[in-house]
Structure 1
């Protein structure tokens, strides 16, 4: 199973690519909508790319919660990985 730090790194890279910003500008506390100006389709794209890269289903509805941060996205992905490994 992929560890939480690796998932955070990978999710940060995905968010940076979708936000069209250098990865160095993305912090774990960056909020997807409020700070990075992402729209709902871009948030869904984060879920899709994370699913493809990490090999686990991610509920994109969880990523659309108000105030969603990069670290919370990584936590959602990590929780999905843990759930996938249990099934």
Structure 2
């Protein structure tokens, strides 16, 4: 299972690619819609790319809430990984 730091790095890279901005401009507190100006399709794309990157299903509805941060995305990925390990 990937470490928390590894997950943060990989999720931040995914978000940066979709937001079309440098990785160093994104922090764990960056909000997807409010700060990075992503739309709902881009948020779904984060979930799809995270599924491909980590090999676990990611519920995009968990990323579609208001004020979702990069840190929240990391938490969702970690939960998906934990569920995969338990089964």
TM-score by length of 1: 0.98
Q: Which residue matches 2:18?
A: 18
Aligned residues: 87
Unaligned runs of 5+ in 1: none
Structure 1 segment 1-87 matched on structure 2, within 5 A: 1-87=1-87
Structure 1 stretches of at least 4 aligned residues deviating more than 3 Å after TM superposition: none
1:4-24 Cα shifts (integer Å, max 9, x gaps): 111111000000000000000
TM-score by length of 2: 0.98
Unaligned runs of 5+ in 2: none
